[in-house]
């Protein structure tokens, strides 16, 4: 069955960077190499193909650039590429002699039988191993209309090229290395993608510098950046070129090629330009930067093809790094941010004690570990953490035992106080007999919070909140109960990351006894434990994820909606890729509807959140990242989900 999703309509653009085999001073052979790649890339639904600097002659042609016959052959090679019938836009490098006698190092944008424009290189390196000024004039300040065999062309560095609904710009190699890269101005003028034709030779550690340069340029300019470097088949008389191909998006390296391949290389990536538009709206430093004047817009003669699938599979757990080394560093940093925020809060409040409600669940356990780190930072004993276990009608024996095990392993101050009698008294005073409704549940939650705040007053400490980012997004907390604290260390940590942090702590920082207790926490089902156990063994009757849906889905929804501004149809399509074989499309739609209903309906709880540290790019603090009216409605989003077909 054909896909009902066109990812091109969702803002994705498929592009390729290519390092073909180079035939030095043989433009016709180089053109045939380009055409061969274009044919193959068309079959992969590529919209734009980027080739290296001076690729039609070879970057290392040296004084042969003055050969009139070579220049004539280069124009014939360009015509051969223009005549290629496949609807892929090609960006190729060539020397171009202007009517006034100057020779420019240019990029030609070719599509649909037409040359859309010529972009000259502005920064010509003439130091170290480079001698480009021997052959070429700088394109800085050039804006010429050239009457050529390809019609009237604009020769100008300040051009944007319209490809369907997207705009891209071109810069050449050293342009990116210069103090004022033209790509910055191109991006501010509206280019969502910057393409760089390059011939950067290889030196020890230069690839690392090049990689960082491309990645940081994409972040500073909030753009996609595609880089194609000349390959090994250039002349190796004095230099070696590696054919380094790179793609980065808003500070993140999407992919790169292996270097030094004698048969050339291709790198195909999908850029999410829809998300870049969202990021540009949000980033006021970008939005408020002065816009350059005088950029021309040139339309290419082909449109992007339909994309029935993505090569870029979304991470099902976007808050959790896949790479073990990256996650190790991330875990250390997240815990350090949490502990630093809490210890600074303690010092500012002039207190040396902390109070924490411990349930034996994930969130309170992570908060406990953060409290221990904060006390260690302040050189205070672990006994200064007063942990209260407050079992009620829904508390299982399993979690009661877990709390005791955690307390024994950490040597904290610990006390168990049953709230069952106090809950029964409040229910009697209310004349409320039901034992399975929201009143019954919330009486327990508020009784616990009252005891915790009063204990904090009694010992002169701060009450540490435990609710995580995912629960705050869903409003999965009782208003003015576990919703409230003196300082919430978990407010910026999503549920999927909480479990990984605890697992990391158990492996890297815990002794044997604590590691065993932490594993017990990880093995426990997620539950608020507010309804009485349903079996004789006192097992957990409430399973949070069976009520509100899987947290891994909700964290995926949260990330793509808040961080990426994605519409429902895009979220469902991405989830279908990320969770293929795990959740049916109907399940994804069902839980996404629930997410939006809760996210909008529970905003009033987030409006009055206590302070807590931001640890990642997504935060719901009403004083920081997320401002939303309490009365906003999710009707349009729910309707959009209902309109989506049940099958992909």
The whole-number pLDDT of residue 648 equals 65
How crowded is the C-beta side of 478, counted as CA atoms within 13 Å? 17
Residue 117 lies in a domain: yes
Which CATH number covers residue 365? 3.40.50.620
Q: Is the domain of 269 the same as that of 345?
A: no
Q: Is the domain of 444 the same as that of 528?
A: yes
Q: Is the domain of 337 the same as that of 264?
A: no
Residue where a domain terminates, one of 284, 299, 314: 299
Phi, psi (degrees; rounded to nearest 5) at 427:
-65, -35
Q: Is the domain of 329 the same as that of 290?
A: no
The whole-number pLDDT of residue 324 equals 82
Determine which helix (DSSP H) or strand (DSSP E) holds 253, and give its type and residue range: strand 252-256
Output the pTM of the full model: 0.93
**Orientation of helix 551-558 relative to helix 585-601, angle to 10°:** 70
| Active-site residue, from 84, 106, 156, 173 | 173
Q: How far is CA 108 from CA 94, 125, 246, 270, in A?
A: 7, 20, 20, 22
Cβ neighbours for 542, distance < 8 A, ≥ 6 positions apart: 394, 527, 528, 529, 530, 531
56 neighbors 93 (Cβ within 8 angstroms): yes
* 121 annotated active-site: yes
Residue 1 lies in a domain: no
20 neighbors 51 (Cβ within 8 angstroms): yes
Residue 317 lies in a domain: no
Cβ neighbours for 179, distance < 8 A, ≥ 6 positions apart: none
Q: Is the domain of 70 the same as that of 193?
A: yes
Residue where a domain terminates, one of 241, 264, 299: 299
Q: Is the domain of 491 the same as that of 591?
A: yes
18 neighbors 266 (Cβ within 8 angstroms): yes
| Active-site residue, from 33, 84, 106, 121 | 121
Residue where a domain terminates, one of 264, 299, 334: 299
* 477 annotated active-site: no
The whole-number pLDDT of residue 1 equals 42
Beta strands in 479-542 (DSSP E): 487-488
Which CATH number covers residue 188? 3.60.110.10
* 84 annotated active-site: no
Q: Is the domain of 283 the same as that of 353?
A: no
Domain membership of residue 295 as a residue range = 13-299
Q: Is the domain of 96 the same as that of 156?
A: yes
Task: For residue 645, give both structure tokens.
Answer: 């077909």
Residue 6 lies in a domain: no
Q: Is the domain of 293 the same as that of 409?
A: no
| Active-site residue, from 53, 192, 202, 249 | 53
Q: Exposed, middle or buried, 208 (CB in 10 Å: 0-12/13-18/19+)? A: exposed
Q: Is the domain of 462 the same as that of 585?
A: yes
| Mean per-residue pLDDT pooled into runs of 10, the chain (648 residues) | 81 98 98 98 98 98 97 97 96 96 98 96 94 96 93 96 97 96 98 98 95 98 98 95 97 96 94 97 95 95 95 94 87 97 97 95 96 97 95 84 92 91 92 88 93 97 97 95 96 95 95 95 73 55 78 97 96 97 95 97 96 95 94 97 86
Q: Is the domain of 618 the same as that of 522?
A: yes
* Count of structural domains within the chain: 2
The whole-number pLDDT of residue 531 equals 57
Phi, psi (degrees; rounded to nearest 5) at 600:
-80, -45
Q: Is the domain of 290 the same as that of 338?
A: no
Residue 229 lies in a domain: yes
Q: Angle CA(238)–CA(199)–CA(129) in degrees, nearest 5?
A: 40
């Amino acid at each position: 069955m054909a896909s009902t999703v066109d990812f091109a309509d969702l803002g994705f653009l498929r592009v390729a960077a290519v390092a073909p085999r180079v035939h030095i001073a043989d433009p016709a052979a180089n053109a045939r190499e380009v055409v061969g790649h274009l044919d193959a890339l068309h079959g992969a639904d590529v919209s734009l193909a980027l080739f290296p600097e001076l690729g039609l002659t070879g970057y290392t042609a040296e004084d042969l650039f003055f050969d009139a016959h070579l220049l004539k052959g280069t124009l014939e090679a360009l015509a051969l590429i223009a005549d290629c019938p496949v609807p892929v836009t090609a960006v190729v490098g060539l020397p171009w002699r202007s009517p006034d006698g100057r020779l420019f190092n240019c990029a030609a944008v070719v599509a649909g039988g037409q040359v859309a424009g010529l972009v000259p290189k502005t920064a010509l390196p003439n130091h170290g191993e480079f001698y480009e000024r021997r052959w070429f004039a700088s394109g800085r300040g050039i804006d010429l209309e050239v009457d050529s065999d390809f019609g009237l062309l604009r020769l100008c560095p300040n051009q944007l090229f319209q490809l369907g609904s997207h705009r891209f710009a071109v810069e050449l190699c050293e342009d990116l290395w210069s103090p004022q890269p033209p790509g910055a101005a191109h991006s501010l003028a509206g280019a969502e993608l910057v393409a760089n034709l390059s011939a950067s030779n290889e030196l020890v550690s230069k690839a690392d510098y090049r990689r960082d340069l491309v990645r940081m340029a994409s972040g500073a300019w909030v753009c996609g950046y595609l880089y194609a470097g000349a390959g090994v088949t250039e002349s190796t008389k004095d230099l070696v070129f590696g054919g380094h191909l790179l793609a980065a998006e808003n500070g993140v390296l999407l992919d790169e090629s292996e270097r030094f391949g004698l048969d050339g290389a291709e790198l195909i990536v999908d850029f999410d330009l829809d998300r870049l538009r969202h990021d540009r709206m949000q980033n006021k430093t970008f939005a408020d930067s002065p816009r350059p004047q005088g950029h021309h817009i040139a339309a290419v003669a082909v449109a992007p093809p339909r994309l029935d699938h993505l090569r870029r599979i979304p991470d099902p757990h976007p808050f959790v790094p896949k790479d073990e080394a990256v996650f190790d560093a991330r875990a250390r940093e997240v815990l350090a941010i949490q502990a630093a925020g809490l210890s600074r809060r303690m010092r500012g409040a002039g207190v040396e004690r902390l109070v924490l409600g411990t349930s034996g669940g994930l969130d309170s356990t992570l908060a406990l570990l953060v409290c221990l780190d904060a006390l260690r930072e302040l050189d205070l004993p672990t006994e200064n953490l007063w942990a209260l276990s407050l079992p009620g009608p829904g508390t299982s024996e399993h979690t009661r035992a877990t709390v005791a095990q955690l307390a024994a392993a950490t040597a904290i101050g610990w006390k168990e106080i049953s709230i069952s009698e106090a809950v029964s008294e409040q229910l009697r005073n209310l004349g409320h007999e039901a034992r399975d409704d929201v009143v019954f549940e919330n009486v327990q939650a508020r009784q616990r919070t009252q005891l915790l705040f009063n204990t904090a007053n009694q010992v002169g400490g701060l009450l540490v909140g435990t609710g995580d980012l995912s629960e705050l997004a869903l409003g999965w907390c009782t208003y003015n109960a576990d919703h409230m604290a003196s300082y919430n260390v978990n407010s910026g940590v999503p549920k999927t990351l909480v479990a990984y942090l605890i697992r990391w702590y158990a492996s890297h920082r815990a002794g044997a006894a604590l590691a065993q207790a932490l594993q017990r926490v990880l093995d426990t089902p997620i539950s608020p434990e507010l309804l009485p156990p349903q079996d004789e063994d006192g097992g957990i009757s409430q399973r949070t994820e069976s009520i509100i849906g899987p947290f891994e889905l909700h964290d995926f929804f949260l990330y793509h909606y808040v961080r990426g501004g994605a519409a429902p149809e895009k979220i469902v399509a991405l989830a279908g890729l990320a969770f293929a074989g795990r959740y049916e499309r109907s399940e994804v739609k069902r839980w996404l509807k629930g997410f939006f209903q809760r996210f909008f309906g529970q905003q009033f709880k987030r409006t009055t959140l206590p302070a807590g540290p931001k640890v990642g790019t997504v935060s719901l603090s009403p004083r920081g990242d997320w401002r939303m009216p309490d009365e906003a409605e999710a009707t349009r989003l729910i309707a959009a989900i209902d309109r989506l077909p049940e099958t992909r």
